[in-house]
Amino acid sequence: MKKNIKHEKILQQICDFMGEDLDAPACKEVAEHIEKCPSCKIYLDTVKKTVILCRKLEENKKLPKDVNQRLCKILNL
Amino acid sequence: MTESELVVAAKKGDRHALGQLVSKYNERIYNLALRILRNKEDAEDILQEAFLTVIEKLDTFDGRSSFFTWIYRIATNASLMKLRKKKLVFAEFPENPDFEKSLENMAFVDWSQDPSLNIHNEEVKKMLGQAINQLSETYRTVFILRDLEQLSIKETSKILEISEENVKIRLRRARFFLRDVLSKYFSERIVS
């Protein structure tokens, strides 16, 4: 029973865990659980992959020169 | 000059200082608006609107938040106003507070190493783009600021003026929704 509560808590925390201070006590607890729990590991890996794909899809675009020129004109710069 | 010095100088009417602030943030604001609105013309409108607002309200900027947080908040709010006017239909999210508990009963399949799930796959690109489009503003902004702009939970909460806990809840749901789209794609491919 105790294990289930922890598992559920970890699944909720996985998203908070990503990109945060991995040395924080809460993150260490999540990391330790994930190492032993294949289901949570898969969930974390697939969420990470999702975010990576979205970042690649939405990567920074260079500001077009004409857009910047129009901006400077409007702002009188 | 530091950013604070540039802001002080710009407040006094120094156009060169203002120009430096614009050069520092113009590309970031354009990309932020592009991510929220997903349209180049709209992103340009927001870029102009945001900096005009900055100039108009620079006197009221008291430095309690950073200039970065302030300008991001202006640009995010302007983008959201424009998004609302478009009256798009967004995906529905379960309002059940036990939403995350439902994860407990799910069987997860590991597709994270599947080589076909990459951004050069046109199907994946299209599907993810559509999925992000389906995120309502509540979830979209948090996902964009936290996961795409890679701001911290604290910065995201300050820009959106919501609690850090609220940022975490919205982020979990947005990520779950997007992950689910890829999971379904993967499952359908396995079956066919």
**CATH number belonging to the domain at B97-191, selected among 3.40.50.970, 3.40.640.10, 3.30.830.10, 1.10.10.10:** 1.10.10.10
How much is the pTM? 0.87
Place of tokens 């945001």: B50
Q: Is A6 on the interface with B (CB under 8 A)?
A: no
DSSP designation for B126: H
Closest chain B residue to the Cα of A18, Cα to Cα: B147
pLDDT at A2: 45
Mean of pLDDT over chain B: 88
* Segments of chain A with pLDDT less than 70: 1-9, 11-12, 14-26
> Taking the domains of chain A in order of start, what are their residue ranges?
5-74
Q: Is B73 on the interface with A (CB under 8 A)?
A: no
pLDDT at B13: 92
Query: Has domain B3-86 been given CATH number 1.10.10.10?
Result: no
> Taking the domains of chain B in order of start, what are their residue ranges?
3-86, 97-191
pLDDT at A5: 52
Burial class (CB in 10 A: 0-12, 13-18, 19+), B122: exposed
Residue B96 has pLDDT above 60, yes or no: no
Please tell me the distance from the alpha carbon of residue B153 to that of residue B172, in angstroms, as a whole number: 12
pLDDT in tens, B32-64: 999 999 999 999 999 999 999 999 999 999 888
